[in-house]
Amino acid sequence: MAYRKEITPNMVGVIKYARALGYKYQQIAAYYVINQGGIADVMKGRIGPEIPPASILPTDFPAL
């Protein structure tokens, strides 16, 4: 059985904000330990289209 980590609403906001700042899918996926397809699903509106981008990144998020 395949295991897929759930992408939470908080994660969606951070993913959108991180992409707006120029982070690559790979960098964001590595931080959350998820597949890059999950990042693509958020960015294409398949997950959390109604959730706005976060206004800050988590304090432990990697620097660009």
Determine contact, residues 25/15, Cβ cutoff 8 Å: no
Helix intervals (H) in the chain: 9-21, 25-32, 36-43
Number of domains forming the structure of the chain: 1
- Give me 64's structure tokens: 């660009």
For residue 58, what are the contacts with CB-CB under 8 A and spacing of at least 6? 14
Q: pLDDT, tens digit, for every residue of 3-36?
A: 568 999 999 999 999 999 999 999 999 999 999 9
Which residues form the domain of 15?
1-51
| pTM for this predicted structure | 0.92
pLDDT tens-digit readout, 52-63? 999 999 999 999
**Nearest to residue 17, comparing CAs of 41, 43, 44?**
43
Domain presence at residue 34 = yes
Specify if 62 maps to a domain: no
